[in-house]
Structure 1
Amino acid sequence: MNLLQQQYDGYTPEDFEVWRILFERQMKRLPAAASAEYQESLKRIGFTADRIPHFDEVKERLADFTGWSLAVVPGIVPNDIFFNLLLNKQFPATTWLRKMSQLDYLEEPDMFHDVFGHVPLLTNTAYTDFLQAVSRIALKHLDSELAIEVLGRVYWFTVEFGLIRENGQLRIYGAGILSSGGETEYSLSDVPRHLPFDIEEIMRSPYRKDVFQEKYFVIDSYEQLYLSVSTIEQVLDKMLQEEALEAKSE
């Protein structure tokens, strides 16, 4: 796959205005909602309301912290490309921004989700080690639809929609929440269930993309993510064996 480049000169005044509105809106919500590590990482990475991030500059900052980089992609990419990029410390990110008419709902992740939501925590080593480890497992099982679906649930309930408990308070670290005004408030409310981090339950929990989540899993630290990798492998093996037994009995 020929990776693309960010065409910074191609951004329109509307693009800059969309970035500004989304950034300022979330920055009003996140001090009381986002994890302390995310907020510190956001400062380290240097995003501001008045400027769409330039990928070359972001890459330099990431390189200083964890050696990670960004890979420009047109949108959602095939599993093999996605996991290979992550394994090689390259986070796939789009460069296009939603239109003004799409501020509150977007079917496919745009640059605000990919960059504002995901990039700051790429400065955290435990978090990035977890991304690489899950990708390594996925690449061993690309031919298994079940394995990819189950590992997708791990990614969904952690990287995209994970919560963390800090000083007894629920806080957000999942990019899908951090980039969504509505879900930022909803996820910490009394409406959804807040469950202890349980890898097997996560791996057996289907999810929907078109609604706010009914439940969120809460970690105690980013190290807990990486420490769960061996359990992920064990549960995956068990689920694959269950699938094989079901196929035999049919």
Structure 2
Amino acid sequence: MIATAAPQEIDTAFAGTMTAKLKEQFDEGLLSGQELRPDFTIAQPVHRYTDTDHAIWRKLYDRQASMLQGRVCDEFLQGLATLGMERNRVPEFDQLNETLMRATGWQVVAVPGLVPDEVFFDHLANRRFPASWWMRKPEQLDYLQEPDCFHDVFGHVPLLINPIFADYMEAYGKGGLKAAKLGALDMLARLYWYTVEFGLIRTPAGLRIFGAGILSSQGESIYSLDSASPNRIGFDLHRIMRTRYRIDTFQKTYFVIDSFEQLFDATRPDFTALYPELRTLPTLGAGDIVEGDRVINVGTREGWADSEDI
């Protein structure tokens, strides 16, 4: 199906599965004649990248690569080196996939932006990582609300070279499909947020970053490790799935895993019986400290916003 006419024609084509977000993406030209497949993927429109897009990629890549030594986990750096990701221009997904498929059977697929939850989970369950194809604008170098190509590709893809993390992402996708049927996506979303997006890992050399939301942000790369403001708490699956988070500021709390093996082992069991149990317990605020926490440090709370947690 070709998304070339009006948003209402897209509505008809997808008969109720199209989201308001996808209409916005159409209006912003993020489809622009590309074939939108039933799984919400498109062919990466490499011909649409401008000199400005490539310059922004290069600036972000150089900025993050130069500051992540001594801050990011070794597994990320190994993945980045193995992929041979270009620094001078937006990478072509097909080229990344040649290496990625050989390493762990994963591939990157292009999407116009955010996709429905069940579509996202189905991609992960089948070892496909949906990545926004478009680049942020020059005025959005330090913050944008939705994930762009730099966040998705630089932030997420290198760790998919790691076999254990790759298995975790597949298991998360399968768990997401089940959680959608059980009405438990809010709890599972918290797990993704506090691990895949904003996770820290303990190493012999100290705390290191592995979450893509931190890795693609200059400010949070510094704040997450150096600031006295946030809490840092040892990983606890049940605790995380009860904890709200921030989308408009740096995190109030970071959870710290001891290893990717710990992360995968903790999430291997079926969560079906866990969700009703967690529903009986109070939901926690993003900055709360509670009895039983393995506290690494209690934050000073300096600069914390008063707006609502998610």
Calculate the TM-score normalised by the size of structure 2: 0.75
| CA distance in 2 between partners of 1:208 and 1:163 (Å) | 16
Counterpart pick for 1:187 among 224, 227, 236 = 224
Cα gap change, 1:58 to 1:155, in 2 (>3 Å)? same
Counterpart pick for 1:219 among 227, 252, 257 = 257
- Where do residues 169-184 of structure 1 align in structure 2 (5 Å cutoff)? 169-184=206-221
Superposed displacement of residue 141, structure 1 = 2.6
- Per the alignment, residue 50 of structure 2 pairs with 12
The alignment status of 1:86 with 2:124, answered yes or no, reads yes
If asked which structure has higher relative contact order (CA below 8 Å, sep 6+), I would say 1
**For each residue in 1:30-88, what CA deviation from the matched residue of structure 2 results, as whole angstroms up to 9, or x when unmatched?**
00211111011110111132121111001111001000011211111111100000000
Q: Structure 1: any 5+ residue segments left out of the alignment?
A: 244-250
Superposed displacement of residue 230, structure 1 = 4.3
The alignment status of 1:167 with 2:177, answered yes or no, reads no
- Per the alignment, residue 56 of structure 1 pairs with 94
- Per the alignment, residue 28 of structure 1 pairs with 66
The alignment status of 1:239 with 2:278, answered yes or no, reads yes
- Per the alignment, residue 98 of structure 1 pairs with 136
The alignment status of 1:3 with 2:41, answered yes or no, reads yes
Superposed displacement of residue 191, structure 1 = 2.1
Calculate the TM-score normalised by the size of structure 1: 0.92
Give 3-state SS (helix, strand or coil) of 1:40's partner: helix
| CA distance in 1 between partners of 2:73 and 2:112 (Å) | 29
| CA distance in 2 between partners of 1:183 and 1:62 (Å) | 27
RMSD across aligned C-alpha pairs, in angstroms? 1.5
| CA distance in 2 between partners of 1:148 and 1:197 (Å) | 20
Q: Compare CA radii of gyration and give the structure with the larger one.
A: 2
| CA distance in 2 between partners of 1:96 and 1:182 (Å) | 22
Superposed displacement of residue 194, structure 1 = 1.1
**For each residue in 1:92-135, what CA deviation from the matched residue of structure 2 results, as whole angstroms up to 9, or x when unmatched?**
10110001111011011100000000000011111121112122
Runs of 4+ in structure 1 displaced over 6 angstroms? none
Superposed displacement of residue 232, structure 1 = 7.0
Counterpart pick for 2:246 among 208, 214, 217 = 208
Superposed displacement of residue 168, structure 1 = 4.3
**For each residue in 1:121-178, what CA deviation from the matched residue of structure 2 results, as whole angstroms up to 9, or x when unmatched?**
0111111211121221221231444x10000000000000000011140000000000
Contact 2:246/2:252 (8 A) holds in 1: no
Aligned residues: 241
Q: Structure 2: any 5+ residue segments left out of the alignment?
A: 1-37, 282-310
Aligned AA for 2:120? F
Aligned AA for 2:221? T
Contact 2:62/2:87 (8 A) holds in 1: yes
Aligned AA for 1:226? F
Percent pairwise identity: 45
| CA distance in 2 between partners of 1:215 and 1:18 (Å) | 30
Aligned AA for 1:71? V
Aligned AA for 1:15? D
Aligned AA for 1:224? Q
Contact 1:199/1:232 (8 A) holds in 2: no
The alignment status of 1:196 with 2:196, answered yes or no, reads no
Aligned AA for 1:151? L
